[in-house]
Each structure stands twice: as C-alpha cells, then as structure tokens.
Amino acid sequence: MRHGSLDWLGLEDKVCIITGAGGGIGTAMAMRFADAGAKVVLLDQQEPKVLKAAEAVKQKTGIEPVVQVCDVADPASVAVSARTCLEKVGPCDLLINNAALLRPGSLEEITLSEWNALIAVNLTGYFLCAQTFGQQMRIKSSGAMVHIASISGTHPQGFSGAYSISKAGVVMLSRQIAIEWGKFGIRSNVVSPGMVETEMSSKFYEEPGVRERRSAVIPMGRIGQPDDIADAALFLSSRRANYISGEEITVDGGYTRMLMNLIPRPGYSQN
C-alpha cells in the first residue's frame, strides 16, 4: 500500500496547503504529506520552482499535487488561491506556513523598504494565509496549522536585517492563533529549524570549511536536511498531536543547547 505505514498519522485525504513549496523544506514537506495520503496543494511565488516540486512529488508518490502560483504577501493573491483550492480539493484541513526570505543587512543600514519587504513575506504573509485558510477551518470547526519559524526567532542573528525579528513574530502569531481559534477546533504550532541545507542557505556552504565548522558546533555532528524539518511538521499536523497547541518544536540537532559548552572550564573539558 502507498502510505500503509503512515496510516497512524491520520492524514489520509486531508487537504494540506504548503506555502513556499518550491523551496527545499517546502518540497520535502510536500513529499512527506503526499506519502501520508494527504491531498497536497503547493503554493509558491515562483512558477518554475513549484512546478518542479510538483513533478518530484508525482514521481515519488504517484500523487499529482494541485499547484497555485501565489504571492503570500499579497492579500488578493492569497484570496484567489484559497478560492481555487476550495473549488479543486475542498476546504483546507492543514496549513503549513513556510514561504520566507533571508536577506543580509545590519540594523543601522537596512532601508525601510528592505525591512517592509521582508516583514511582508515572513510575517504578514503567514498572518494572511492563516486568516484566509483559517476561515475555511473555522467554518468546519477543525484544522491544524504549522508555521515554520527558525531558531533565530529566539536567538538573535546579527546582520540578517529583519529576519530574526520576523521569526519571533511568527512564534507569537502562532500562540495567538492557538488561544483565539482553539474554540474552533484549530491547533497552531511552530517548527523552528536550525541549520538546514537548502537553496536559502546554499551560498554559505560554497565557502570552503563552512560545512565542517558548522557541523562541529552541532551535537549531532551534521547539518540538518529538509526531511528533518518535514518530519516534525508531519507530526504536529497529525492526529498524534491532537492536544498540542501553541507550542514550538526546535529541530536543530541540539545546537541551541550548546551554550554552556562554550564556557572555557579547565579540567572539565574532554579536549
């Protein structure tokens, strides 16, 4: 059977909207949800990327996902996508907010338009999708949302402009959805990845030695892969997480627990 071992997740025939589905983590999540029997709908601003992702899902799972070119920062574009998805596959059961940008820049130098452009996608885009697809969930009194944030939402990452700030906002958006829409049977949770190898981060790994230096500060000793994030999103969306809401799962191989290890303590070090 196609998704026999994944039946325990209870995701069969669930309508699952994934934003930023043309990217590394988005495509991995599309594979995972399709494999679990969900009806996946792939949203992305970049048509070639999302079509490529849809083809990859079809090749791997035999399921042909619905594809929508959508700019999550544009309310009209999100509204059209929501209407089209409703007509094609029915009301949304699961929303995976994932589309985001990362841009370099120090706080003293980034311009207002750079700030606004990033917040528009990374935070306002998450809100717009939650509000619009959440409406379909509220009508049928059930649904689950997973918002992909970042460890940088808790630990500020300098010279990334508004990125860390947007991710901190996503964490609070999720908590607020959990408390306001719990009465509609909607759960809302966050997955916060650490370092993951995708197009967003690929430039970093082009530099000689970066992979080794990064791996050395992660207890698991390796850079995260998109599937690591997809598995956490799959769990939080599933019936196995039926009473979990307003929470955050960090998926970073233990990296953010390394703080105490940075303190020099002669006699207590293995090296």
Ligand X SMILES: NC(=O)c1ccc[n+]([C@@H]2O[C@H](COP(=O)([O-])OP(=O)(O)OC[C@H]3O[C@@H](n4cnc5c(N)ncnc54)[C@H](O)[C@@H]3O)[C@@H](O)[C@H]2O)c1
Binding site for ligand X (CB under 6 A): 19-20, 22-26, 44-46, 49, 70-73, 98-101, 121, 125, 148, 150, 193, 195-196, 198-201
Helices (H), 197-239: 202-206, 210-216, 226-237
| Sheet (strand 39-44) strand order | 66-69, 39-44, 15-19, 94-97, 143-148, 186-193, 248-251
- Cβ-based neighbour number of residue 123 at 10 Å: 21
Give least dist CB 95 to ligand X, A.
13
Q: How far is CA 216 from the centre of its chain?
A: 25
Pick between residue 93 and residue 228 the one whose CB is nearest to ligand X.
228
Pick between residue 24 and residue 161 the one whose CB is nearest to ligand X.
24
Give least dist CB 191 to ligand X, A.
8
- Cβ-based neighbour number of residue 271 at 10 Å: 2
Is 163 annotated in the active site? yes
**By Cβ distance, which residue is nearest to ligand X?**
23
The active-site residue out of 126, 163, 205, 255 is: 163
Across-strand partners of 147? 97, 190
Pick between residue 50 and residue 144 the one whose CB is nearest to ligand X.
50
- In order of 83, 123, 205, the CA distances from 60 in angstroms are 28, 32, 27
Pick between residue 14 and residue 167 the one whose CB is nearest to ligand X.
167
Give least dist CB 206 to ligand X, A.
14
Amino acid at 16: C
Give least dist CB 87 to ligand X, A.
20
Task: Match 């009508």 to its residue by tokens.
Answer: 139
Catalytic residue numbers? 163
